[in-house]
Amino acid sequence: MFEFHGWATIRVRDADKPVFDGFRSSIRSAEDRAIKQIRAAINEVHDECSVFEIRRSQNGLIVLIVHGLRDSHLSGVIELFWWLGRTLPNSYGLLHVRDDEREGHEHQFRVWRLANGKLAEYVDPFLSLRVPAIEEPSAPNLDSPKENTNHINKQPR
């Protein structure tokens, strides 16, 4: 399984400087262009099993939200965060990933931190190890009849 949950705050350099489009005599902001670029990048990685949204909220906040649970690895979601770091280096955010096909990390969530144009991977200290952090350790079924364990570890004479 490949599970991911993440967000990124989109920050655009010189976002307050409008760009004048002489053809239509209208003003397009750098943020509007960034949102269009992000939507195009999302279209490259989006599938029907996952959620990718870019939202503009109050006070100029632009947020990318990603969530998914898939049968196999989706490298595009991590590539999208790499792309954000290169294209919009003032953006920042976190991407939590659990990939049970990644050798050595089957029982861990990994967190990718986007900051200052760089994407770095860390062990998630809050959800790893998967057992017992988010799943109960295997316990005997309390509803089943008790077994007689007197014979365990006894050698016949």
pLDDT (tens, 9 = 90+) of the chain, 157 residues, equals 888 999 999 998 765 455 555 543 233 478 888 999 999 999 988 888 889 999 998 877 999 999 999 776 667 899 999 999 999 999 999 999 988 765 655 667 889 999 999 999 998 887 765 545 555 666 544 444 444 444 444 444 4
Report the predicted TM-score, pTM, of the whole model to 2 decimal places. Answer: 0.72
Which domains, ranges and CATH numbers included, belong to the chain?
2-15+26-133 (3.30.70)
Beta strands 2-10 and 118-123: pairing type?
A: unpaired
Close Cβ partners of 80 (under 8 Å, ≥ 6 residues apart): 41, 42, 45, 52, 66
pLDDT digits (tens, 9 = 90+) for 96-126: 998 876 565 566 788 999 999 999 999 888 7
